[in-house]
Structure 1
Amino acid sequence: MSGQGADWLKGMVTVHIRGGRAEELVNRALAGGLQLSTIRWTSSGLLEFELSVSDFFRLRPYLKETGCRVHVTKRKGLPFLLVKAERRKLFAGGIVLFFAIIFMLSSLVWSIEVQGNIKLTEDQIRLAAKEEGLYPLQWSFRLTDADVLSKQLVRKLPGSTWVGVEKKGTKVIIQVVESTIPKQSALNTPRHLVAAADAVVTEIIAEAGRPVVRKNMRVKKDQILISGTIGGEEYSRTVVAKGNVRGLVWYEFEIASPLVQQVKVYTGEKKTKWFAVIGSRALQVSGYGKDEYKASEAILSEQKISWRNWTLPIGRLKETIMETRLEERTLTEEEAKNAGILQAKADVLIKAGSDAVIRDEIVLHEKADNGKVYMKVLFEVEQSIVKEMPLVQMQGE
């Protein structure tokens, strides 16, 4: 152990010598075997040196012989730390208890996360894990070794090829890899692809079957686009027609857009509530009382205690209640018109499909009356226009 470490264990004091024969005191103490260090004269004319606690008590005879008085100015080391701890038993006990609780909480499994499962339900996996001793609020040291637990879970979970168990802090992650079974292709009957609506063809791609329309051709609803019959009259056969046909379709919308709209705004008034969070439970600690706001919106913000990769299920939750009110906003006719058309476009795309594109819009009629703007709008949309028609149905007709 280094000299400084030994001095800290023994305890060291710094003293000032007053009156008497200070130089003689130092000489006699050193001759008597006392270890004095950092001997110097202070700016106030006092002799200062440092010595151990045990040597401090052996210094008394030399003080009497030389007529000096001693005054302790500094104390450091383990003995003095123990004295302070003795005086503050409750404080020291609280610190010990705090770390003991943190250790106990960090030794528990607080949550289990399941990943990778598709066919197997999360409840099935959690039940199998519980049968093997893995469940929330279980002690970490009581868990089976991860490799052994993985093999046991594979045996208990039919359809799984590998199960990984990983502990991260107070959370355990169960990663499941399920066995893949080749999909059996559906047994499709021969069919045509026909038009789902009146349209003008913009694109046609035939993967199987015989295309009977071409680009820029106008087609009627239920007209055959890609035929499932191929070959001549004597050597014809039927197939499952496959492909994609896109076309321009027209949608007519009647729109009534109000000139006065209600908008939600924040008033700036707010109330804050704090909650202590332990696991999935929250205990309110401040912000009691009923909310006096007629209309409000709550914003939640949660903070958990974490250290490095460890996240404890202990923290605090802040709930901010923001007062809101509805304000009327008056639009110009042009603003109301744009708002109505924008909503109509959204409705068109929902109806036409996710791959649809609006190519053009034409306002056929427009007027303002009774606080609203009324419009009749025609949208030109490019979309997929195919639907299936079994050949059996065609033969039956």
Structure 2
Amino acid sequence: MQWMQWTKGVVSVHIRGEEPEQLVNRALAGGLELWNIRWTSGGSMAFDLSVGDFFRLRPYLRKTGCRVHVVKRAGLPFWMARAGKRKFFAAGMFLFFVIIYLLSSLVWSVEISGNKRITDEQIEQAAKEEGLYPMQWSFRLAQTDVLAKRLAGKLPDAAWVGVEKEGTRVIIKVVETTQEQKPELNTPRHLVASADAVVTQILAEKGRAVVSKNQRVKRGQTLISGTIGAGENTQTVVAKGTVRGLVWYEYNIVSPLTQTYKVYTGEKETKWYAVIGSRMLQVSGFGKSAFELSEAIRTEEQAGWRDWKLPIGRMKETVMEVVQEERKLTAEEAREVGLLQAKAELTVKAGADAVVRDEIILHEKTDNGKVYMKVLFEVEQSIIEEMPLVHVQGD
């Protein structure tokens, strides 16, 4: 039930007669809003509608010869009717809405976005100096455009500041002034091999390539030299370039023949919570869950009208039952699963641009419900790492 529907009041009805479908079609065509339309196990048609539309339903009942039976009433009008019979309860409700009004007049949170160089603490301090901080009364704040100008004056590195108020939340948006980026100061360097490999590609953007394609290199061996020229014309530069090569990795893989999967049974439990600010109060679904294993999904609804949000609402927690099921794999299937997992680990270790070119199973056996393998992977990857150049000057 949505908040607007709850405010208007909702009536759940069952329709009996020879042509309940005609009644629904005519009512919808006449502008009535019906929802949750369904057939009941008793053969009648059921749906929900607002209190106002319930009284507009009578002409359609007469035209179709149907009868209506109210099975449930919910919403603010019925709540107020019950409250009218209990003075103390009505007084409590009045006090409740007064408190809600007061809470909605407070600033509950101040959010900051768009800043990188300017810290949140600097912006929060500037906002506090202007009276903008959590738990401040909204009516004590200046207009948002005035606040924005004042904050911009207090933040020299901000090119523009915007202030937006959304219910009980205030958002400060900052656009920082652009600064000329200074080039990074790099010291002269060589590019050396990060692992034993066979070079498959070498491209020197700056510096001098000292190895060639299809050449075997050792870890630490210079690939692109940062020293260029000869004799008196020798100079050092920041070596840049791309070098890729074939690297070999040996993996010991253990893959079980039985795998466990999580399956939803379709059974679920629902719990409701009243939300006030950052606090929650459970109002239904008490007691220990009957499910041995479960997962919960939470959805929150905040009360409000259009863009005006109140610091109250409700949260629905759906607890779904899950069971663990086992699946038996063949030795071939377990082998493929193990190889895929090993390749995924290799991608993380060797880099996102790494490519597995070949795989050689050196040894394989099946024992105690598991497949054991020793596998050699041939991977093409970047094989460069930096090595600074150190000049040794004589006396």
TM-score, length basis structure 1:
0.69
Pairing 1:311–2:309 present? yes
Which residue of 164, 167, 173 maps to 2:165? Answer: 167
Distance in 2 between residues matched to 1:102 and 1:167, nearest whole Å: 18
Q: Which amino acid aligns with 2:148?
A: S
TM-aligned CA deviation for residue 361 of structure 1:
2.3
Out of 238, 247, 257, the residue aligned to residue 249 of structure 1 is 247
Q: 1:175, 1:328 → 2: CA distance?
A: 52
Residue identity opposite 1:227 in structure 2 = S
Q: Does 1:390 align with 2:392?
A: no
- AA matched with 1:188: N
Q: Percent identity?
A: 66
Q: How big is the shift at 1:103?
A: 5.7
Deviation per CA, 1:105-152, whole angstroms, max 9, x where unpaired?
554433322101223333442343233111234333221122332233
Counterpart position of 1:193:
191
Q: Give 2:339's aligned residue.
A: 341
Structure 1: which 5+ residue stretches go unaligned? 1-86
Query: 2:240, 2:376 → 1: CA distance?
Result: 31
SS in structure 2 of the partner of residue 222 of structure 1: coil
Q: Does 1:320 align with 2:318?
A: yes
User: Structure 2 residue aligned with 1:113, among 111, 114, 126?
Assistant: 111
Q: SS where residue 389 of structure 1 aligns?
A: strand
Structural mapping, 1:4-153, within 5 Å: 90=84, 106-153=104-151
Q: Which amino acid aligns with 2:160?
A: W
Residue of structure 2 in register with 1:224 after alignment = 222
- Give 1:202's aligned residue: 200
TM normalised by structure 2 equals 0.69
Distance 1:212 1:348 in 2: 28
Partners of 2:117 and 2:365 lie apart in 1 by: 56
What does residue 30 of structure 2 align with?
A: none
**Deviations 1:318-363 (Å, cap 9, x if unpaired)?**
1122233333332111221111111101110111012222233232
Provide the rounded CA distance (Å) in 2 between the counterparts of 1:218 and 1:89: 88
Aligned length: 310
AA in 2 matched with 1:376: K
CA RMSD of aligned residues (A): 3.1
Q: Distance in 2 between matches of 1:220 and 1:277?
A: 64
Alignment partner of 1:376 is 2:352: no
Larger Rg: 1
Structure 1 residues 306 and 359: alpha-carbon distance in aligned structure 2, compared to 1, 3 A threshold: farther
Aligned position for 2:293: 295
What is the aligned counterpart of 2:260 among 258, 262, 282? 262
Distance 1:150 1:99, change over 3 A: same
Q: Residue 89 and residue 193 in structure 1: after superposition, are their counterparts in 2 closer, same or farther (change >3 A)? A: closer
Find the residue that maps to 1:392 and give its secondary structure: coil
Q: Shift of residue 290 of structure 1?
A: 2.5
- Secondary structure of the corresponding residue to residue 187 of structure 2: coil
Paired with 2:202 and 2:236, the residues of 1 have a C-alpha distance of 20
2 CA distance for matches of 1:222 and 1:339?
35
SS of equivalent residue, structure 2 residue 390: helix
User: Are 1:238 and 2:239 matched, yes or no?
Assistant: no
Runs of 4+ deviating beyond 6 Å:
93-102, 393-396
1:178 matched to 2:176: yes
- 3-state DSSP of counterpart to 2:231: coil
The CA distance in 2 between the partners of 1:295 and 1:261, in whole Å, is 18
